């Protein structure tokens, strides 16, 4: 494994001290290298820290091999500039170094979840051991049998259900913190007022000097290009030209849809909950029993429906949502209500089912707009991506200038990619364009 010197000896010792919860240990050796050869995400570089330790427990020396997940700013200059321009890494560092502690403050262990061997205090995110402006060190979830699913495969009902329940506990932590702090201080507490910088929008922005704007506009261009290839709404369709003209207009509505609500209860939302950002632990074969949410670089303070709808559009097919959406919304709300009840809070008062269901309808277009933008990179084979990101010039063009040719080639030759993009674009066209122009 390549040795990447991003941590000092003192920092490694501090990470181990927090992990073993003792200062009675000796670091024998450590190494830091790439987590994987695969392209996992675009907003950070993922590494693995392996540490050999001798720890003294109750007078008995024990040798431990401990593993950690390390996320750093990309070493490629354009890639790094892209992440810095977005403020994505800065936001995640702030989340782990400050907000996570607040969200975990009133957490209670839930024996009903059968998580006796779970680690950490929050049961929905990994434990954090160190943050710097350029680096985050987290527990290695794979070491306790958490894994991601294949992002090119739609998620089944069992995994969706576990993910939705985990998401509900995450969202409940916001409400619990705000309500407990309000009661303790005698004045209304809202998390976005405590951490205003953390909740500044960093993806859907207007500023031309922000590379994130270039990414979204490039994604919209590719959507328009793909309409030419759609069997149902391609060149032969009577409203093909209207569809091409309306897609950019419809997509730009996302800037309003991701804002905090003045009507519905807001919570801390992950903001980018696709398949790669949630890990599952299974038992008895393939049955998922719990999940962890990772990656908080796009956190927002919005109605919880934002995350729920986003996740379901990114992880499932349109046909699946047709048959299971209502059931999964009920699973989510029942989990949220139960978690609030355990803290002597009433969901009917704080976020009623009627309010939640109404907000889901209002935010359905979040999923319809985001899915065909994010799936362009999320479900594209690495065979198409790697040749287009191997130099800074190519990466720049692919991310923020034009990727139409690559996306269309992928659509023509890859049936999995074609299925996802056809599904996404047909729903966008039918629900956001044609239904409004009949």
Structural contact between residues 174 and 193, judged by C-beta atoms closer than 8 angstroms: no
Residue 204: C-alpha distances to residues 193, 216, 217, 259 (Å): 21, 8, 10, 10
Count CB atoms within 10 A of the CB of residue 348: 11
* SS3 (DSSP) at 238: coil
* SS3 (DSSP) at 204: coil
Structural contact between residues 162 and 291, judged by C-beta atoms closer than 8 angstroms: yes
pLDDT at position 206, please? 86
Q: Where in the chain are the domains? A: 146-436
Q: Per residue of the chain (438 residues), what is the pLDDT tens digit?
A: 557 789 999 999 999 999 998 899 999 999 999 877 555 455 668 999 999 999 887 778 889 999 999 999 887 777 788 888 888 999 999 999 999 999 999 886 554 444 433 433 458 999 999 999 999 999 999 988 999 999 999 999 999 999 999 999 999 999 999 999 999 999 999 999 999 999 999 999 987 777 889 999 999 999 999 999 999 999 889 999 999 999 999 999 999 999 999 999 999 999 999 999 999 998 876 789 999 999 999 999 999 999 999 999 999 999 999 999 999 999 999 999 999 999 999 999 999 999 999 999 999 999 999 999 999 999 999 999 999 988 889 989 999 999 999 999 999 999 999 999 999 999 999 999 999 866
C-alpha dihedral (245, 248, 251, 256), degrees to nearest 10: -110
Contacts of 320 (CB under 8 A, 6+ apart): 154, 157
Contacts of 356 (CB under 8 A, 6+ apart): 264, 303, 304, 305, 329, 333, 336
State how far the Cα of 295 lies from the Cα of 312, in Å rounded to an integer: 17
Secondary structure E strands in 237-319? 267-269, 278-283, 287-293, 300-302
Count CB atoms within 10 A of the CB of residue 148: 15
Helices and strands of the chain, counted as H and E runs: 18, 10
Contacts of 363 (CB under 8 A, 6+ apart): 257, 303, 305, 306, 309
**CATH number for the domain running over 146-436:** 3.90.1200
pLDDT at position 284, please? 72
Secondary structure E strands in 101-187? 128-132, 135-139, 146-147
Residue 115: C-alpha distances to residues 28, 97, 110, 289, 332 (Å): 32, 25, 8, 9, 19
The residues with which 70 forms a beta bridge, in sequence order, are: 47, 137
The residues with which 301 forms a beta bridge, in sequence order, are: 268
Residue 47: C-alpha distances to residues 18, 274, 326 (Å): 19, 21, 39
* Residue among 213, 242, 225, 238 nearest 399 (CA): 213
Residue 117: Cβ-neighbour burial (10 angstroms; 0-12, 13-18, 19+): exposed
Count how many residues are written for the chain: 438
The residues with which 135 forms a beta bridge, in sequence order, are: 72, 132
């Amino acid at each position: 494994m390549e040795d990447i010197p991003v941590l000092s000896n003192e920092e490694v010792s501090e990470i181990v001290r927090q992990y073993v919860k003792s200062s009675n240990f000796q670091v024998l050796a450590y190494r830091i290298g790439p987590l994987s050869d695969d392209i996992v995400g675009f907003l950070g570089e993922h590494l693995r820290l392996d540490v050999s330790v001798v720890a003294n427990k109750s007078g008995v020396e024990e040798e431990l091999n401990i593993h950690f997940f390390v996320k750093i700013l990309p070493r490629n200059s354009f890639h790094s500039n892209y992440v810095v321009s977005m403020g994505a890494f800065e936001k995640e560092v702030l989340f782990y170094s400050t907000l996570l502690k607040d969200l975990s403050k009133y957490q209670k262990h839930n024996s009903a979840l059968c998580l006796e061997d779970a680690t950490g205090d929050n049961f929905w995110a990994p434990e954090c051991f160190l943050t710097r402006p350029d680096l985050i060190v987290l527990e290695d979830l794979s070491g306790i049998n958490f894994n991601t699913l294949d992002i090119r495969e739609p998620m089944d009902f069992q995994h969706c259900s576990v993910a939705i329940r985990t998401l509900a506990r995450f969202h409940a932590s916001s409400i619990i913190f705000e309500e407990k702090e309000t009661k303790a201080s005698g004045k209304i507490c809202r998390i976005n007022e405590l951490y205003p910088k953390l909740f500044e929008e960093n993806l859907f922005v207007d500023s031309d000097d922000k590379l994130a704007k270039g990414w979204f506009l490039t994604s919209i261009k590719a959507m328009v290009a793909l309409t030419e290839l759609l069997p149902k709404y391609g060149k032969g369709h009577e409203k093909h030209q209207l569809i091409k003209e309306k897609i950019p207009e419809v997509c730009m509505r996302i800037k309003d849809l991701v804002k905090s609500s003045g009507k519905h209860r807001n919570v801390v939302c992950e903001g980018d909950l696709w398949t790669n950002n949630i890990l599952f632990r299974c038992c008895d074969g393939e049955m998922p029993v719990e999940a962890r949410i990772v990656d908080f670089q796009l956190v927002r303070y919005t109605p919880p429906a934002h995350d729920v709808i986003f996740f379901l559009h990114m992880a499932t097919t349109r046909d699946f949502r047709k048959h299971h959406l209502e059931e999964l919304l009920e699973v989510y709300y029942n989990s949220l209500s139960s978690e609030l009840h355990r803290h002597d809070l009433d969901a009917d008062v704080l976020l009623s089912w009627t309010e939640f269901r109404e907000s889901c309808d209002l935010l359905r277009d979040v999923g319809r707009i985001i899915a065909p933008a994010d799936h362009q990179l999320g479900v594209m084979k690495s065979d198409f991506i790697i040749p287009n990101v191997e130099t800074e010039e190519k990466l720049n063009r692919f991310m923020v200038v034009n990727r139409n040719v690559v996306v269309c080639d992928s659509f023509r030759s890859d049936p999995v990619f074609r299925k996802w993009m056809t599904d996404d674009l047909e729903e966008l066209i039918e629900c956001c364009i044609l239904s409004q122009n009949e």
